[in-house]
Amino acid sequence: MISRGRTRAEEGSIDAATRANTRWEETLASYEAPPLDVAKDGELKDFMGRKKASMEDTWY
């Protein structure tokens, strides 16, 4: 039998989109970046510095 009474949403339950949003916010808040080797970090920063120095500053 189909109920013509109040829907779950009208009774205050949350929908799938709201549950999914809450879940990804919790996941993002609990994220911890994996450790990066100090030597590789230094190499990457050196590379980025050289690359930035070789390019003209532009505003898009």
pTM over cut 0.75: no
Q: What is the mean pLDDT of the chain?
A: 88
Q: Which two tokens stand for residue 25?
A: 């916010």
Q: 3-class DSSP state for residue 59? A: coil
Instruction: Pull the structure tokens for residue 37.
Output: 């080797």
Please state, in angstroms and rounded to a whole number, the distance separating the CA atoms of residues 25 and 27: 5
Provide the pLDDT for residue 3. 63
Q: What is the mean pLDDT of residues 19-44?
A: 95
What confidence category does residue 59 fall into, taking pLDDT thresholds of 50, 70 and 90?
confident
First to last CA, the chain: 60
Write down the domain spans for the chain. 7-31
